[in-house]
Structures are given as structure tokens and as C-alpha cells.
Amino acid sequence: SARQQTTSTGKKISPTLFGLFFEDINYAADGGLYAEMIQNRSFEYSPADRREWHSLTSWEYITPVFSYGSLNVETNKPIHPNNPHYAVLTIEHVGQPGVGENSKIPENKGVPGVGIKNRGYDHMVVKAGEKYAFSLFACQLSATPVALTVSLQDPRGKILSESKLTVNSKDWNKYTATLTASERSDSTSLVILGTTQGKVGIDIVSLFPENTFKNRQNGLRADLAQLLADMKPAFIRFPGGCLAHGDGLGNMYRWKNTIGPIEQRVEQRNIWGYHQTAGLGYYEYFQFCEDIGAKPLPVLPAAVSCQNSGGTWRIGGTGQKAIPMDEMKDYIQEVLDLIEWANGSVSSTWGAKRAAAGHPKPFNLEFVGIGNEDKITPEFEERFKLIYDAVKAKHPEITVIGTVGPFPDGEDFTKGWKYANNLTVPMVDEHYYQQPDWFVRNQYRYDAYDRKQSHVYLGEYASWGNKLKNAISEAIYMTALERNGDVVDMASYAPLLAKKNHTQWKTDMIFFDNEKVCLTPNYYVQKLFTANQGDYYYDKIVSKNSKDSTLAASCVKDSKTGDIILKLVNGGTASQSMKIDLSAFKKLASQAEQVVIAGSAEAENTLENPQAIAPVQSKIKVSKSFQYNAPAMSLTVIRIKTQ
């Protein structure tokens, strides 16, 4: 068993055990982590995304002060073929604001013109004094230039910030302005008004808060990104989940479509029933990983679509299941090109593209996932093998992670393991979503895993719920993942982010709206494990009632800092004593940092009451041997310095 392998000097375990799973599900990317505030900025929404959606979804045509003209969507002169639709505003007449008695008529007030108004993702929140980076692409389609007024407006039409620009080129050009909000509004719209007669093409209308995470261009929402950074994850897996392989060939996530200037990226339907702009694309994912010191873990399709179904299980699937065998050479090249793009020198074809985008240094890619929960069919097997062999031959330095399907006891799971072991795939991705008691009952699962077989990436797991009892069952399980950190190399809770009123998955780690966040107990548990990882595991440090499976503990050492980290979990209804023996360690500090999460089993946080469960930090006296009284339904992490 794992325990028997432990020596008094500790057992080497994976230094990258706990990381994050990011998928654009629940509006996690567009409308979420990606800080773009304009919804449907490029007029590319369509009924393929959602039956009732179209190019002008989230836009409103407006003609204040008795102005008139027209709004159309055209495709004959796009900025780029990948971004075919754009709006055309024709301004025929610009009204005159009323004077005297006439100014009392509401329609006579405000800035006259012909224009469009965007309400963002459930409206936009702007804050007094904060700056917003506005940009759009426009081209003059009439003989004369067209003047535009851009403003942020509250729901009553009050102008919170305004800027003017003139479109005076027949070519598509980018125009920018900084808009500073005069006051707070949580229901803001962006208004673009043509204020002189003429015709103008408009595309990629964008508004970002000026302070994105690390002030990156095309960046991430600072508050959400910071919460993820605070977790200190060892890695980030992206872009999914099912999103990675889509539900048909036309819906696969193809990484090359998601790099380069945003106006040239290929947008597409999101498998979770909305739209992907690809504004948060591979460049941004890799940059974010680098910014927070996490290893990038891209998951690429194994050339088959979701559950190998060809989209038959979702409306809008293309019916094509897998990349035809005679196109596999090109697809394999696409996978190899990703490695060159991430790691190649600036003189390589793809390394040069990374450098041109602003990152000459390599991104140090070490892992590539191939496939996600795929059915283990002959189509999958022959394609996976081709990709795997090619990556292994050209890039032996890259660890390929295979997939073994969705459920621990499913048919594909068993077939997937057998297949991966035959190919000696170094690591495979297991997924499971189960009830909390399943995690408690199955905490010994990996003790029995054969260490000579493929190692495990537990890429998606969660107990069904965001109550404290769910998080504590996961904490029990995570101590077992640490104990088995010699065979479980990586693990990530899923899904990560969920926007209020836009969730497709009910149990998630962080809930948010346009302004607030709700950190679940599951987040706090994950954070305590990710931020307190070790690379050596020590057995027999904590004595507890071994018959009580609701009690669990682990002890790891982080050899970079020398710190000893104890995790003590009590999933029961009464406090329990645990005895800690640290005599194996030298030079222990007498005082340590302690963080406790505890409360009632049913407690949960909400956006309205986000603090029902919160970690409590304090100091604790420690010695070579001491007792710890673990509160009912709790996780305690004690971090002890050794010098």
C-alpha cells in the first residue's frame, strides 16, 4: 500500500498535485473572467449559439431627439473573413434638442443621433472615478466622414462619461477612448451615436476596465483572477471539459483559432449553450498561467468530439464524429505546432508568432492533455495513438495525459485504463462527480493503485453540493490524494466559475455576478490545499481513531521553504482529538500558522450572504508532540516553519 512505501524521510510526491480546472461553462470566460464588458461585441451571435440569438442580440437601435436613419448587419466588407458580420449605421437626420418649453418633452432631451446601445452581460457596473478603455473598429461608408459620440449611460439616460471621434477612413481602423465614470451605476449601457449625416461600418466594440489583472491588454477581471492567483495553483487546465472537443467537428476548440488579434479570431457556439468570442484564447490562458506561477495544461481534442457523439446529444451538433483519417496528418501537425508555439525559439515558425504577440520567451509547456472523457471506441483509439506517438517521438520532454472516461466504474473507464496502460501513456485523466459520502467511502481508492501503471490526473471531481459537508468530504479525499501523491500526479476540482443566472452546472467553486463574488466552502478547502502543497509525504504523524472514516489527516513537507504542513479533517458531528507526533523533524518553530474552516454541515455561502463559512486564521503553539482538538465538520491546516 501507499503507506508501506513511506520512509522516515518522507515519500516523494508530486510537486504539482493541486491545480485548477478552467472551462468556459457557466459564463466563466465571456461575461466572466475575461474582462470584456460588451456582449456580442463583434455582431457574431447567431441562432447556432441559441435559437433566439442573432447578430444584434444585446444591442438596441436608438434614435434620440427625433433623429432617423437605419441599422443593418452586413458581411460584404468585413475586417477579416474570420469575423464576417458588422453593423452599418446610416444617419439620415440628426434631430435638434428642444429649447424653451419644448425641452420639457422627454424625447427632446439628450444627445441627438442615430446609434446603438449595448447592455453588456446583464448590464455593466461602472464605479465613480474609474477608467474604462473603449475601442471600436469603424470604416467610413459614405462620401463624408461620420462623427460618433460614445458614452456610458445610466438607466435613465444620464451620461456618466462621453467621448467624441470622427470616422474618416474608408479602411477599417481602430479608434480608442478612455471613459471615466462620473458616478457609480450597476445598470450601465454603452451608447454609440452617429451625430452627422452619413454611413459608417462598426465592429469589435469593446470596453474593458482599465485595471485588468496585472494590467494586461485584452485582460482578465482583476477580482476573479486575483482569487485564483491567491490559491497558488500548481497548474491550470484549460479550455475544458467538453468545451475542448465540442459536440461535432465544427465545434471543436482549435487552438490556432484563438490566438492573434482579436478581430481575426474565430468565434463559435459554446457547447454549453451560448457563444465563445475566443477573446480569452490560448495566448491569454498561457499568459495568465505565467502571471500566477501555474504550469499550463492545455487539453486538446483527441480528434473526436464529445462522447464521440457527433453532436447527437446536443441541439446543433454537426453529426460528424471524428476528424477523417486522411486529415489526421494535418491535425497532428496542429498539436505539434502548439508545442512549438509555446516553447519554440523566436526563429521557429510558431515561436515567432508567440513573439509577435508579445511573448518572445517560451511559456515552458510541460504537459499536454489529449482527449476529454472520450468514449473508448476504435475511432478514438486509432486517432489517440497517432497523436500520442507523434508527440512522444518529436517531444519526449512533454508529458502526454490521456483520458479514461467519465465514471469510475463505467465501461469506458475500464477500457480506457487498459488502452492507456498498453500504450504506456504516462498519465490519464479520471473524472467523477459523486455524493459526499462517496468521497468518504472511497478515500482509500488510490492506496490500491498499481504504481507501475499510468499515473493519475484527477482532472475533474466534486461532491454534489456547495455546503460545508461537501467541502469537508472533499478535504478528506484530498488528504488521501496527498497520501497517494506518488501515483496521483495532479488533481483539480471542477467546474471553477459560475455566473449568477447563467449556470449550466449546479455545483461550482466560485459564484459571481458583475461585481460580487461568492466563495464556496469548496473554494476555501481547495485554496488551503493548493496554497499548502508539499513535495514529501510523511506517514504516521497524526494518530486518530482509525475506525472513524470521517477523520482524516496528512502531513507534507514543502522542501522549498522547509515548512511542515498538517491537514486535519473532521467530517463528524462532534469534535475529535488527534495526536500529532513531529519527532521526525528537527528545528521546529514553537509557534505555527493555523487556518480553520468549521461550521454546520448544511451551511453554505451565497452572493447575498457570502461569509456564512469563512476560514479563521490564528497562531498555534506546536511541539514535538501535541494534541489537537479538531472541531466538528472542519478542516484545519497548520503550517510549521523548521528554521
Using the minimum distance from each CB to ligand AHR, give the nearer residue, 84 or 240: 240
Instruction: From 483, 386, 427, 432, select the one nearest 1 (Cα to Cα).
Output: 483
The active-site residue out of 340, 373, 474, 482 is 373
Residue 78, C-alpha cell as written in the block? 468585413
Residue 51's contacts (CB-CB under 8 Å, 6 or more residues apart) are: none
CA distance 261 to 135: 14
CA distance 351 to 28: 29
Instruction: From 597, 580, 600, select the one nearest 640 (Cα to Cα).
Output: 580
Cell match 452599418: residue?
Answer: 88
CA distance 373 to 169: 50
Residue 620's contacts (CB-CB under 8 Å, 6 or more residues apart) are: 591, 592, 593, 594, 638
Q: In the complex, what is the shortest distance from the CB of residue 528 to ligand AHR, in angstroms, rounded to a whole number? A: 22
Q: In the complex, what is the shortest distance from the CB of residue 246 to ligand AHR, in angstroms, rounded to a whole number? A: 11
Q: In the complex, what is the shortest distance from the CB of residue 272 to ligand AHR, in angstroms, rounded to a whole number? A: 8
Do the beta carbons of residue 351 and residue 345 sit within 8 Å? yes
Q: In the complex, what is the shortest distance from the CB of residue 243 to ligand AHR, in angstroms, rounded to a whole number? A: 6
Task: Annotate 103-124 with b (16+ C-beta within 10 A) or e (fewer).
Answer: eeeeebebbbbbbbbbbbbbbb
Using the minimum distance from each CB to ligand AHR, give the nearer residue, 240 or 296: 240
Using the minimum distance from each CB to ligand AHR, give the nearer residue, 495 or 572: 495
Task: List residues near ligand AHR by CB under 6 A.
Answer: 23, 25, 240-242, 372-373, 406, 431, 460, 494-495, 505
Do the beta carbons of residue 27 and residue 500 sit within 8 Å? no
Using the minimum distance from each CB to ligand AHR, give the nearer residue, 118 or 530: 530
Q: In the complex, what is the shortest distance from the CB of residue 530 to ligand AHR, in angstroms, rounded to a whole number? A: 18
Q: In the complex, what is the shortest distance from the CB of residue 508 to ligand AHR, in angstroms, rounded to a whole number? A: 9
Residue 578, C-alpha cell as written in the block? 488527534
Using the minimum distance from each CB to ligand AHR, give the nearer residue, 426 or 495: 495
Using the minimum distance from each CB to ligand AHR, give the nearer residue, 242 or 569: 242
Residue least distant from ligand AHR (Cβ): 241
Q: In the complex, what is the shortest distance from the CB of residue 497 to ligand AHR, in angstroms, rounded to a whole number? A: 11
Please name every residue paired with 322 in a beta bridge, in sequence order, or none if there are none: 304
Per the rule left: phi > 0, alpha: psi between -120 and 50, beta: everything else, 642 is: alpha
Residue 197, C-alpha cell as written in the block? 449625416
Q: In the 8-state DSSP scheme, what is residue 227?
A: H
Please confirm, yes or no, whether 366 is among the known catalytic residues.
no
CA distance 374 to 431: 11
Do the beta carbons of residue 271 and residue 278 sit within 8 Å? no
Using the minimum distance from each CB to ligand AHR, give the nearer residue, 285 or 363: 285
- Which residues are known to be catalytic? 373
